[in-house]
Amino acid sequence: MLVRGTLIPLLDKKYAQYGTGGTLPTITAPTLSLTVIDDDSIKLSWNTTDTDHKYYSIQKSTDGVIFSDYDTSPISTIQYTVTNLDPETEYWFRIKSVGQLQTSDWSNEPSATTSAVVLVSPDVLNTSSNKLRITIGSFIT
């Protein structure tokens, strides 16, 4: 269908009314929060009141300026764990809802820093007292 010089695909009957120049419903941007899991994992959690979309698009950055596509997540998901990250590195994330005919704006862009790697010597377990001794950053000798 040609509308005002633009080809508009009518992909779903519920959108047919918009093919004649109507206004599409707005898709609200999700609100994103991050939780550091360990030295190579960060959990993304978001909330949205919007149900008029197909999936979420996730982007990642190491400088908070340049974002690259990371993955997509199904509509039924509101959490996603990013793995294989570098230890002690700050990461920024953002997501958006992707609908059939439009997308939301990008979410907020929170950052989180993965934790440090904990090095543990094989002799840290003192079997006589059943206590665990950990030194961060060096081996116990």
Query: CATH code at 21?
Result: 2.60.40.10
According to the model, what pLDDT value does residue 122 have? 59
According to the model, what pLDDT value does residue 18 have? 52
Q: Residue 139 domain-assigned?
A: no
Sheet strand arrangement including 68-74? 68-74, 55-61, 90-98, 111-113
According to the model, what pLDDT value does residue 77 have? 87
Q: Residue 137 domain-assigned?
A: no
Residue 116 has which token pair?
A: 């440090």
Residue 1 confidence (pLDDT) above 60: no
Q: Residue 141 domain-assigned?
A: no
Q: Residue 62 domain-assigned?
A: yes
Which structural domain, as residue segments, surrounds residue 89? Answer: 2-132
Q: Residue 138 domain-assigned?
A: no
- Predicted structure pTM score: 0.69
The model's pLDDT over 24-71, given as tens digits with 9 standing for 90+, comes to 777 888 999 999 999 999 999 999 777 777 899 999 999 999 999 999
> In the chain, how many domains are there?
1
**Structure confidence at residue 138 as a pLDDT band (50, 70, 90):** very low
Alpha-carbon distance of 117 to 89, in angstroms, equals 11
Buried b (16+ CB within 10 A) or exposed e, 110-119: bebebeeeee
Q: Residue 46 domain-assigned?
A: yes
According to the model, what pLDDT value does residue 139 have? 47
